[in-house]
Amino acid sequence: MSYNNYTEKNNSAGHNDVTIKARDVSEVSYEFGKPPSRFEKFIDSFKPIDLEGDGFDTTGMTSIEKSVIASARHPLARRLKSRHLQMIAIGGSIGTGLFVGSSYALSLGGPAGMLIGYALVGYSMLCVIYSLGEMSVQFPVSGSFNAYFTRFIDDSWGWTLGLLYACSWLISFPSELIACSLTVQYWTKSVDPAVWVAIFYLIIVSINLFGVKGYGEVEFALSLIKVLAVVGFCIVGICIINGVGSQGYIGGRYWSDPGAFNHGFKGICSVFISAAFSFGGIELVALAAAETKNPRKSLPKATKQVFWRITLFYIVSTIVVGLLVPFNDERLLSGSSSEDITSSPFVIAIQNGGIKVLPHIMNAVILVAVVSVGNSSVYGCSRTLASMAAQGLIPSIFGYIDKAGRPMVAIMFTNLIGLLGFLIDSDNQDTVFTWFFSVCSLAAFFTWIFICLAHIRWRWALKSQGRSLDEVIFESPMGMFGSYSGALILILIVVGEIWVSVYPIGEDSASYMNFLQNCLSLPLLILMYVGHKTYRRSWNRIMIKLEDIDLDTGRITVDLELLKQEIADDKRWLKSQSFYYRFYRFWC
């Protein structure tokens, strides 16, 4: 049975809500009698949501067809507003990757190498987020891009990449708790670090118990603080560069001595992992698509904000840091110890300028950023697991949704793994987390590459089935070129990272152990894909045929002709506006 025939069959039977069914899962019905107390409402909210039976006939459907239907109907709460989504897009991934991870990049690649590495990853991220935005506006389904791997490529890739992505956030949670504890030690070391881990663990767990609305409000506030801090740092940094501070005029001094590059081309390749860590989480704006009140209006604006985030927050701050801190500064991280996590180049830059109060403020901002990333870790992992469960890719228990629209089992599982943060008291914590991170070292690159591939196949499927871009609500400003070029750059980055892992900086011979520590996710990716293909016995199909790809289930609007008319009206209205306004709308 083809997808289109299946859709027509259920529509003719009166089930025309096979596409997105916007249902407020926060509505809770109580028995007649005494109104329930707040405590009773809170306890009742953890009960499973009462899903209405839609009467779909799934007889004869393949596993991929069932996955598409399930992800489209998964009942996550739609409580995120436009302001939440835009702030998540602007500040959602500003965290330890930028504030602390950039010290690895500066130390290994030098200021020019760091700038080149961040610019390349930044461009590819711009392509990825626009491609992802186009698909997410069209299909704001549960799990978003994880569901697109299954829908547009193959369910084996959906399972493999979904698990790697979930593991990335799962491992990030306890590591961010440790980072919180170490960041506090900037001020005091008299308290057992495990105490701080416990405090921040309870804070992050409590936030996620409030559901997506709690996550959205907290991220709105934390992201606003991070945005203001980065803008403020860039302004102060420019002033210090031009002579305000104890060092006098700096200009491009450190680009000449000790130099613009460190370790040559290998140094640039070493920057890529730090850059990926910095940009990680940029896709959360699409992950939240299924929990947004009006994805058609809010998602395009949010995805376009990424351009400004990449330009201002990453590229500009990278230039400022490179001008203020020499790459041979002993306080910079060189990958030898996690105990120096508070030695952020942002803090060092202000210290070098002789400004006494601002380093404390900057370190407080880093603490806010770490809490934010920890909060996002629980959100990103739990939603990915819930989506995979809805698609039948992992045990269904992870798809448990309560009356408040929370994937509670997935959240509690993520919280359980977060207890690994108490390894901070272990002497072997560095070794443990080195191998943990090796599992997902290249996972972000794989995810981004396949997002571009999913977008390419979505466009190919439209053409193959005789349909046009007239029904595409939000077209990526970069178009197909963005997906092609973004995927190509990301593939080359992965190749470069493998090379520098096999032949590390400072070593003449190949290092098998260093390769495993940096690139273990590559053999795991291959092993997981082959294993799932073999288990499903689906080697007769490498990818879904273009003519069989479902272009309707989960679509944001039921009436295709009405959707085309609305899109055409919007384009005509925009064309009638001034050039300056059209230029603004193109990027914002």
Residue 497: count of CB within 10 angstroms of its CB: 22
**Pair of tokens at residue 575:** 């064309």
Q: What is the DSSP letter of 80?
A: B
Check residue 21 and give its pLDDT: 42
| Inter-residue contact 338 to 426 (CB < 8 Å) | no
- What CA–CA distance (Å, rounded) separates 293 from 296? 9
Q: Kindly state whether residue 39 falls inside one of the protein's structural domains.
A: no
What's 216's domain CATH number? 1.20.1740.10
- What CA–CA distance (Å, rounded) separates 177 from 184? 11
Range with lowest mean pLDDT among 112-126, 373-387, 427-441, 466-480:
427-441
Check residue 60 and give its pLDDT: 58
Q: Look at residue 269 and tell me whether its pLDDT is greater than 60.
A: yes
**Integer-rounded Cα radius of gyration of the chain:** 24
pLDDT: which is higher, 66 or 283 = 283
- What CA–CA distance (Å, rounded) separates 557 from 19? 7
Alpha-carbon distances, residue 503 vs 106, 496, 510 (angstroms): 20, 11, 5
82 class by beta-carbon count within 10 Å (0-12 exposed, 13-18 middle, 19+ buried): middle
Q: Which amino acid is at 461?
A: A
The angle that helices 521-536 and 155-184 make with each other, rounded to 10 degrees, is: 140
Q: Kindly state whether residue 581 falls inside one of the protein's structural domains.
A: no
343-382: per-residue pLDDT in tens?
788 888 888 888 888 888 888 888 888 888 888 889 889 8
- What CA–CA distance (Å, rounded) separates 451 from 124? 11
Phi, psi (5° rounding) for residue 80? Answer: -75, 130
Q: How many separate domains does the chain show? A: 1
Q: Kindly state whether residue 29 falls inside one of the protein's structural domains.
A: no
- If DSSP codes are grouped into helix, strand and coil, which group holds residue 251? coil
Q: Kindly state whether residue 477 falls inside one of the protein's structural domains.
A: yes
Please work out, in degrees rounded to the nearest 5, the angle formed at the alpha carbon of residue 444 by the alpha carbons of 451 and 208: 95
214-233: per-residue pLDDT in tens?
777 888 888 888 888 888 99
- What CA–CA distance (Å, rounded) separates 113 from 204? 35
The separation between CA 569 and the C-alpha centre of its own chain, rounded to angstroms, equals: 33
Residue 485: count of CB within 10 angstroms of its CB: 15
Q: Kindly state whether residue 313 falls inside one of the protein's structural domains.
A: yes
The angle that helices 429-439 and 512-519 make with each other, rounded to 10 degrees, is: 70
Check residue 246 and give its pLDDT: 79
When mean pLDDT is compared over 91-95, 296-300, 357-361, 551-555, the highest value belongs to 357-361
Q: Kindly state whether residue 59 falls inside one of the protein's structural domains.
A: no
Phi, psi (5° rounding) for residue 280? Answer: -60, 135
Check residue 70 and give its pLDDT: 52
- What CA–CA distance (Å, rounded) separates 243 from 330? 23
Check residue 337 and give its pLDDT: 40
Phi, psi (5° rounding) for residue 548? Answer: -100, -5
- Mean pLDDT of all residues in 502-531: 86
Omega before 258 within 30 of 0, i.e. cis: yes
Q: Kindly state whether residue 46 falls inside one of the protein's structural domains.
A: no
Q: Which amino acid is at 165?
A: Y
From the list 130, 214, 153, the residue with the least C-alpha distance to 460 is 153
Alpha-carbon distances, residue 307 vs 109, 136, 432, 438 (angstroms): 24, 17, 36, 30
Helix, strand, coil percent values for the chain (each to nearest 5): 70, 0, 30
Alpha-carbon distances, residue 385 vs 85, 112, 144, 149 (angstroms): 21, 39, 12, 14
- If DSSP codes are grouped into helix, strand and coil, which group holds residue 249? strand
Check residue 67 and give its pLDDT: 55
Alpha-carbon distances, residue 312 vs 92, 157, 169, 308, 534 (angstroms): 14, 34, 25, 6, 46
Check residue 254 and give its pLDDT: 92
Check residue 180 and give its pLDDT: 86
Question: Can you give the residue range of the structural domain that contains 347?
Answer: 79-556
- What CA–CA distance (Å, rounded) separates 375 from 423? 19
When mean pLDDT is compared over 55-59, 168-172, 557-561, the highest value belongs to 168-172
Alpha-carbon distances, residue 193 vs 173, 182, 546 (angstroms): 16, 7, 54
Compute the mean pLDDT over every residue in the chain, rounded to the nearest whole number. Answer: 80
Phi, psi (5° rounding) for residue 100? Answer: -115, -45
Q: Look at residue 327 and tell me whether its pLDDT is greater than 60.
A: yes
- What CA–CA distance (Å, rounded) separates 288 from 406? 13
When mean pLDDT is compared over 111-125, 170-184, 352-366, the highest value belongs to 111-125
- If DSSP codes are grouped into helix, strand and coil, which group holds residue 242? strand
Q: What is the DSSP letter of 535?
A: H
Query: 142 pLDDT band (50/70/90 cuts)?
Result: low
- What CA–CA distance (Å, rounded) separates 110 from 255? 8
Query: 58 pLDDT band (50/70/90 cuts)?
Result: low
- What CA–CA distance (Å, rounded) separates 571 from 156? 38
Range with lowest mean pLDDT among 10-19, 197-206, 452-461:
10-19
The angle that helices 295-308 and 579-587 make with each other, rounded to 10 degrees, is: 90
Q: Kindly state whether residue 26 falls inside one of the protein's structural domains.
A: no
User: What is the Cβ-side half-sphere exposure of residue 230, based on CA atoms within 13 angstroms?
Assistant: 27
Q: Look at residue 16 and tell me whether its pLDDT is greater than 50.
A: no
Alpha helices in 74-149 (DSSP H): 82-91, 96-99, 101-138, 145-148
- Mean pLDDT of all residues in 230-243: 90
Alpha-carbon distances, residue 257 vs 245, 321, 325, 352 (angstroms): 20, 15, 11, 16
Q: What is the DSSP letter of 344?
A: -
**Pair of tokens at residue 473:** 């609500």
Q: Provide the b/e sequence for 368-406 (b: ≥16 CB within 10 Å).
A: bbbbbbbbbbbbbbbbbbbbbbbbbbbeeebbbbbbbbb
Q: What is the 3-state secondary structure (H, E, C) of 140-186?
A: CCCCCHHHHHHHHHCHHHHHHHHHHHHHHHHHHHHHHHHHHHHHHCC
Query: 492 pLDDT band (50/70/90 cuts)?
Result: very high
| Inter-residue contact 445 to 539 (CB < 8 Å) | no
- If DSSP codes are grouped into helix, strand and coil, which group holds residue 399? helix
